Structure 1
Amino acid sequence: MKSLLIALLFVLSLPGGYSQAQQFGPREALVIVQPVSFERERNRVEAVGTAEAVRSITIYPAVGDRVVAVNFKPGDKVEKDQLLVELDARRQQVAVEQAQINLRDAERTVERLRASREQGAVPQSELDNAILLRDLARVELDNAKIELEDRFIRAPFEGIIGITDVEVGDRIDQQTAIATLDDRSTLLIDFRIPEAAVSLLQDGAELQVQPWRYSGTPVTAEIIELDSRINATTRMYRARAKISNDNDDFLPGTSFRTAIELAGEEFASVPEAALSWGVNNPFVWVVEDGKAARIEVQIEQRLAGRVLVSGNIQRDDLLIVEGVQSLREGQPVVFDRATLDTQEVTE
């Protein structure tokens, strides 16, 4: 050992010995850096939703009778009050005519008695009785018209009519389904999410929907209705959204893949390659006064190719993204400043 120390002192005493000893000191590390970028965490939950028309009904007749005309074809777009089916209305038309005759007769009686009453020829009670009979005749006419109108089945709103099994000559009753009618200019999408995700359904939440059979760009839907409680059995919460369907791209009953996203807190966005792992916590390297500085972080969210972390990271820090494998605390670093000009900072 004594001989080894003497030899080392001898080497250091030689010219250039000092520069050779410097080789054992800290070496500068060549690294690639970029400014620290920040972005908001994305809270996301996916569910399956089912679409239904904003207005959807099954049309039933108000009365039963024989079908004399079917005035639509399945798949037709019908207007409000358009005549769809006609039932045999001969007896009702006769009843209307009879009620009209009775009303006209009652009105003439009232006019005659009113003139006689002005001359004092009839008592007031007789005129009052005639007025009552006239009013009853008017009610009978209104009732006859309603009975007649019930034989003409009309569309209650604009929409697309469905398939019917009703044919001319069929005798139907009030339990006979004529056809479905859907106003699908707007679709409602019912979906359910887990109890733990209810907080995502707040103001500012964005719902993206995409039908399972359709691989195009997801459609943004508006959340319009929230249930009043969580289902105690399934622990699921029901909500409803709507989407415009002016081009008739989707049909009621379509199943949708729904995804709710909500921007949360803002955190530093770190490329996965820049994240290192210590004994207790992950950490990143930044440049401080030309030297590598280690900062411990907490992972908040993993995204595609990057990680959102919290820690003592400032917006003007330079993050070391490559060359972190052999860095040591306080080690001098050099980097190509041209890389800084190509980085984008997410505000």
Structure 2
Amino acid sequence: MHLLRQSLLALAALVLAVGIWAVYVPAAAPWLERAGLYDLLGLEPPAPQSAEGGRRGFGGGAAQVVVAPVSTGQANARVSAIGDGRALRSVTVRSDATGMIRELAITPGTWVEAGALIAQLDDDAERIALERARLMVMDARRNLDRLRQLGGSGAVSAVQIREAELALGTAELGVEQAEFDLSLRRITAPISGWAGLLEVAEGDRIGTQDTIAVLSDRSSLQIDFRIPERFIGQLSIGMPVEVTALARPDHPLSGEIVALDNVVDRTSRTLRVQAQLDNADDSLRAGQAFSVTLSFPGDTLASVDPLAIQWSGNGAYLWAARDGQAVRIPVTIRQRNADSVLVEGDLAPGDLVIIEGVQTLRPGAELQIVEGASAAAPARADDA
């Protein structure tokens, strides 16, 4: 009980001291307000009176302040997503025939031009078949020429000549088939691109499903990502995007949207989007993860200097200079930029907000606007 009585006496003494300080030291009022005592007690801060009875700063005269005009700015809605990178074109090279690799003409990590040889399979049987087919064509052509010469004397019927023509056509098709079979033994690059790691070596016997190499044209990368369906109406082909490789967060890149899906995923309620990113320096690889950010234009709001923003127990506010007097205006911060803050409040373009000299201001205090250097030490402890 003795300890409780001493605590209550000490609390009462503290309250009395604060009250005396607030009454006999007017300059203490802003500090008490900043400490939140007025908000805690539910009281309105007292308005200081000058010698002439008007409201002024606590120094007894007009408060010297520096002001900045209110402008307008557009709030941006930003959407971020994680996407996967894909090469502009990528092809898995496989053989259309079964056989042993006689020659492997590429090495991993090299650039391969379209049509260049990748691998040569053994082709002895196919070359023999081609020579046989050519001999059959020569024989069929000589037989047809002989029958046509005899046809004028009536010794050969038209049916025999027709059968010889058919035999020649069949032999010519045999040559084409043999040439095609021989071409399958030569595996060439379908596109120009970089060769990845090879899955086979010279001497290996491969089948039609075996992968030989993967060629990737990564001069540009395509980034697949998804965004919420509420932004679909604001998407368009060619819209710029900000891209950052998760492995290189200090190296931001720029790209643009090149394709939009036509179906929203019912499970995630998102739309698949594809962006394209230049990779001329070949510093990126397919399969990398990327952070993609899209900016959508938002509402037009009042833009103020960051120094104008103050804080109290009720939230953010700022001081405006109207008719030579200070007006306290509560605001809601919507977006912070490097050199401005977009806010909602009772402000209009061209209004003057106070950015320096706010530490002694009260509602209705008379103001003297000065230019340039600091009018007074700003209370930066409350800045946003």
Shared fold (TM-score, shorter chain, > 0.5): yes
Give a deviation string over 1:198-249, Cα, whole Å, max 9, x none: 4553467421111122143311111111112222223332111111112111
TM superposition shift of 1:160: 0.9
Partner of 2:158: 124
Match of 1:22 among 48, 51, 63: 51
Partner of 1:238: 272
Report the residue type matching 2:51 in the other structure: Q
Give a deviation string over 1:272-325, Cα, whole Å, max 9, x none: 442357998865433333333455555433445743124553332222223445
Q: Is the 8 A contact 2:68 2:305 kept in 1?
A: no
When residues 316 and 118 of structure 1 are mapped into structure 2, their CA distance, relative to the original with a 3 A threshold, is: farther
Distance 2:85 2:50 in 1: 77
Distance 1:141 1:204 in 2: 51
**SS of residue paired to 1:22:** coil
Residue 292 in structure 1 maps to residue 326 in structure 2: yes
When residues 326 and 132 of structure 1 are mapped into structure 2, their CA distance, relative to the original with a 3 A threshold, is: farther
Residue 104 in structure 1 maps to residue 138 in structure 2: yes
Partner of 1:267: 301
TM superposition shift of 1:120: 5.6
TM superposition shift of 1:189: 1.0
Distance 1:129 1:242 in 2: 61
Q: Is the 8 A contact 2:85 2:285 kept in 1?
A: yes
**Correspondence list, 1:1-347, <5 A:** 22-27=51-56, 28-117=62-151, 122-202=156-236, 205-275=239-309, 283-295=317-329, 297-303=331-337, 306-324=340-358, 326-338=360-372
Distance 1:216 1:296 in 2: 38
TM-score (norm. length: structure 1): 0.81
Q: Is the 8 A contact 2:91 2:191 kept in 1?
A: no
When residues 198 and 94 of structure 1 are mapped into structure 2, their CA distance, relative to the original with a 3 A threshold, is: same
TM superposition shift of 1:83: 0.7
Distance 2:64 2:233 in 1: 46
Distance 2:153 2:278 in 1: 71
Distance 1:331 1:213 in 2: 55
Q: Is the 8 A contact 1:49 1:257 kept in 2?
A: yes
Give a deviation string over 1:32-66, Cα, whole Å, max 9, x none: 21122322212111111111111112211111111
Pick which of 191-200 and 49-58 moved more.
Answer: 191-200
Distance 1:21 1:45 in 2: 53
Q: Is the 8 A contact 2:66 2:369 kept in 1?
A: yes
When residues 297 and 148 of structure 1 are mapped into structure 2, their CA distance, relative to the original with a 3 A threshold, is: same
Distance 1:21 1:48 in 2: 61
Distance 1:280 1:338 in 2: 31
Pick which of 67-76 and 114-123 moved more.
Answer: 114-123
Distance 1:112 1:58 in 2: 52
Q: Is the 8 A contact 2:222 2:276 kept in 1?
A: yes
Partner of 2:34: none
Report the residue type matching 2:283 in the other structure: D
Q: Is the 8 A contact 1:200 1:260 kept in 2?
A: no
TM superposition shift of 1:96: 0.9
Q: Is the 8 A contact 2:245 2:251 kept in 1?
A: no
Distance 2:285 2:50 in 1: 80
Distance 2:174 2:50 in 1: 120
Distance 2:99 2:308 in 1: 79
Distance 2:136 2:323 in 1: 107
Q: Is the 8 A contact 2:95 2:208 kept in 1?
A: yes
Distance 1:204 1:169 in 2: 49
What is the RMSD computed on CA atoms of the aligned residues?
A: 2.9
Gaps of 5+ in 1: 1-19, 341-347
Give the total of aligned pairs. 321
Q: Is the 8 A contact 1:34 1:339 kept in 2?
A: no
Distance 2:149 2:67 in 1: 108
Q: Is the 8 A contact 1:61 1:153 kept in 2?
A: yes
Pick which of 111-120 and 217-226 moved more.
Answer: 111-120
When residues 181 and 21 of structure 1 are mapped into structure 2, their CA distance, relative to the original with a 3 A threshold, is: closer
Partner of 1:13: none
TM-score (norm. length: structure 2): 0.74
Pick which of 182-191 and 206-215 moved more.
Answer: 206-215
Distance 2:72 2:251 in 1: 27
